[in-house]
């Protein structure tokens, strides 16, 4: 393989860009800049940041602010709310990349713990359009029962245990329309790392055992895992140092180099990396790569992950001090160079909404 490789249109389907009330953690400008620095063409933003994206005014506000600031292409999820916001679904479904449903506790207030309420959301969301779920442990089986009933294409975010992988492998062999995402932190860290990382190693789902981690890698090898998604969720260092630190870690700028380093070590074929960060996520969301949109990566460049080189506003990484090989040299979108290896060259607002009216590449 040559040192300089070209990866077509990378898509991270799971990021928390923050912005608005949480602009101290990250702004749409800073976190989409982090996406470009990480090699990504586009990101899909989660709805749990205040004000949660669960009604048309909150959606319009996010679309407007994100649209004005984004330097990479983007889409947003609508959130399923506890008090039942299904009446909005017909109006919003075409304008978002999917519905996000939180079925276990995490950052924000969108937990839906009741199976009847979950079913109400599955019933109301237009059939054929995607639902992304946060489901951990036994909740995976609860959601699979709904997928079996409604046949809605369902993406299982950040799967982290051997048991969950087994359930989803079986669901796939049964022909259910499910896809599986895993995160770099679950692939490269375990519960043992929490001892040294402290709050910087805290996220939902939590870090798991070595055996669980092995099952995720095995899931990649067997094709059970479709996507590596960063679950980029910045919180400030001050917040992380507080007595009750919030869950979540940044990941946009470290996901690709970590995977390429693993490929170099023979843990997965390099072509598989490209499937996991570009081809599969685009396919799941029905997105065609725009012309002349790609990332140039120098596979010979070995470097240490250091906080001073990061673009994310939170300014830290659970992988600080790690040596990685494979540096993003350039990112091009629609024939324009938008990142030169150090600086973002795109103007605020130049990123496109991939699910805006008339903008979809489907």
Taking CB under 6 A as the criterion, the residue among 80, 101, 187, 203 binding ligand DOR is 203
Query: Which residues lie closer than 8 Å to 153 by C-beta, 6 or more apart?
Result: 128, 129, 130, 131, 177, 178, 179, 284
Q: Does 48 bind ligand DOR (CB under 6 A)?
A: yes
Q: Which does 85 bind (CB under 5 to 8 A by kind): Zn ion, ligand DOR, none?
A: none
Closer to Zn ion at the Cβ: 104 or 115?
Answer: 104
Q: What whole-number distance in Å separates Cα of residue 72 and Cα of residue 28?
A: 10
Which residues face 227 on adjacent strands?
181
Smallest distance, Zn ion to C-beta of residue 16, A:
6
Give whichever of 14 and 327 is closer to Zn ion, judged by the CB atom.
14
Q: How far apart are CA 190 and CA 353, in angstroms?
A: 35
Binding of residue 38 to ligand DOR (CB under 6 A): no
> Where do runs of H (alpha helix) occur along 52-193?
56-69, 89-92, 115-124, 139-150, 162-173, 184-188
16 lines the binding site for ligand DOR (CB under 6 A): yes
Q: Which one of 26, 184, 201, 248 is in contact with ligand DOR (CB under 6 A)? A: 248
Find tokens 């190693």 and name the residue. 201
Question: Judged by CB under 6 A, does residue 62 bind ligand DOR?
Answer: no
Q: Per CB under 6 A, does 233 bind ligand DOR?
A: yes
Among 32, 81, 106, 152, binds ligand DOR (CB under 6 A): 106
Q: Please count the other Cβ atoms lying within 10 Å of the Cβ belonging to residue 352.
A: 19
Within 142-201, the residues that bind ligand DOR by CB under 6 A are none
Burial of 196 (0-12, 13-18, 19+ CB in 10 A): exposed
Interaction site with ligand DOR (CB under 6 A): 16, 48, 106-107, 134, 203-204, 233, 246-248
């Amino acid at each position: 393989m040559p040192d300089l490789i070209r990866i077509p249109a990378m898509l991270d389907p799971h990021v928390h860009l923050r912005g608005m009330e949480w602009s101290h953690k990250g702004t749409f400008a800073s976190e989409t800049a982090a996406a470009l620095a990480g090699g990504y063409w586009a990101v899909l933003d989660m709805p749990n940041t205040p004000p949660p994206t669960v009604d048309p005014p909150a959606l319009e506000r996010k679309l407007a602010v994100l649209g004005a600031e984004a330097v990479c292409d983007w889409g947003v999820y609508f959130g399923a709310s506890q008090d039942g916001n299904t009446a909005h679904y017909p109006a919003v479904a075409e304008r978002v990349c999917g519905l996000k449903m939180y079925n276990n506790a995490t950052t924000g207030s969108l937990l839906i713990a009741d199976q009847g309420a979950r079913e109400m959301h599955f019933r109301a969301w237009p059939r054929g359009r995607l639902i992304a779920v946060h489901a951990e442990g036994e909740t995976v089986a609860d959601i699979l029962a709904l997928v079996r009933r409604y046949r809605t294409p369902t993406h299982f975010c950040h799967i982290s245990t051997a048991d969950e992988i087994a359930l989803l492998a079986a669901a796939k062999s049964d022909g259910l329309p499910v896809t599986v995402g895993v995160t770099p932190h679950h692939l490269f860290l375990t519960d043992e790392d929490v001892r040294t990382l402290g709050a910087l190693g805290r996220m939902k789902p939590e870090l798991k055992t070595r055996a669980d981690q092995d099952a995720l890698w095995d899931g990649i090898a067997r094709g059970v895992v479709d996507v590596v998604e960063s679950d980029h969720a910045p919180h400030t260092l001050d917040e992380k140092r507080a007595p009750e630190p919030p869950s979540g870690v940044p990941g946009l700028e470290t996901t690709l180099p970590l995977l390429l380093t693993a490929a170099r070590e023979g843990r997965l074929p390099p072509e598989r990396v490209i499937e996991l960060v570009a081809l599969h996520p685009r396919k799941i969301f029905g997105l065609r790569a725009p012309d002349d949109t790609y990332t140039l990566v120098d596979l010979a460049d070995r470097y240490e992950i250091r906080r001073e080189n990061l673009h994310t506003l939170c300014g830290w990484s659970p992988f600080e001090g790690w040596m990685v090989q494979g540096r993003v040299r350039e990112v091009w979108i629609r024939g324009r160079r938008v990142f030169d290896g150090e600086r973002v060259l795109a103007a605020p607002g130049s990123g496109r909404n991939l699910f805006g009216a008339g903008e979809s590449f489907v």
